[in-house]
A = this chain, B = another copy of it.
Amino acid sequence: MIDIKAYQKEISAKTDATLEKVLPASDTYPGSIHTLMRYSTFAGGKRIRPCLLMATFDACGGRNNNEEKALLTAAAIEMLHTFSLIHDDLPCMDDDDFRRGKPTAHKAFNEALAVLGGDALCIAAFEILATTGRIDIIKDIASALGTNGMLGGQVVDIESEGKQVTREIVEYIHRKKTAALICVSIRAGAIIAGADPVAIEKLTQFGELIGLSFQVVDDILDEESTTEQLGKDAGSDRENGKATYPSVFGMNESKKYARDLIEKAWKEIEFLGERGEILNKLAEYIVTRIS
């Protein structure tokens, strides 16, 4: 039996050590932007994407072979995730003051530096990805982030605020805004481990399902938790008129949907047998947050 908490702790520590190595020191000139990049990157994220990447990498037999490449890719993805959060929190976007219990970047520094710091994390991530020599993964990640992925989801998210939306729109937003980057993390782990195309395809399906479930759960938590529990403003989705699952389907159906997605996801990776244990547990972790 693998201890999932210990696994998460191990991967978080390795990811953080890699981030520590690749991010410029705070006193490297110009110091303000490097301080901001580190502030937001080390603000207490749970490193879910790196955990999923490394768990997939391990499940596909990668460990002890290319581990450094996998960790660099995991660190780059975490930087890209942080870039998206910094810009998402800006006054002209979601206008959030707190993230993970700490002031958001534009609050702790200023708006101009938050825009540039986000940009810098994005560009530094591509520079790091280039050092791994895997151009196929760079293409995959850029595609998951672009207007047919994360950024497309953010646009529709913002443009749907305060509007009555269909199930299709809510699903589009979350598939793109959240699931795309989670899914590509899993794909990257499989590709670096040298998994065959059939395995990569099944893991991609798995990634999309748990990515979507992750966002449904996030919506539920935003409704049901306190600000203290979340580390960010609770209920802000409803206040902002966001298109969320609970707002469209109600709470009970949303919870059922989140669990159904995870069960479907598990089926996709049955082929991994025992090697899939950590991935199964990470998927379970996503829904246990609401049970």
Contact = CB atoms under 8 A, between A and B. Distances in A.
Contact of A142 (B29, B130, B143, B146): B130
A194 interface: no
Given A87-B115, A92-B112, A145 B159 contact: no
Nearest to A154: B116
Contacts of A147: 24, 28, 30, 33-34, 37, 120, 124
Nearest to A80: B123
A141 to B, nearest CB: 9
A230 interface: no
A93 B126 CA distance: 24
Interface string A179-220: 000000000000000000000000000000000000000000
A143 B124 CA distance: 8
Given A93-B112, A112-B158, A130 B120 contact: no
Given A126-B126, A130-B135, A155-B33, A92 B119 contact: no
Contacts of A243: none
A127 interface: yes
Interface of A: 24, 28-30, 32-34, 37, 83, 87, 90, 92-93, 110-113, 115-116, 118-120, 122-124, 126-127, 130-131, 133, 135-136, 138-139, 142-143, 145-148, 151-152, 154-156, 158-159
| Closest 5 pairs (CB-CB, A-B) | A127-B142, A92-B111, A130-B139, A130-B138, A30-B155
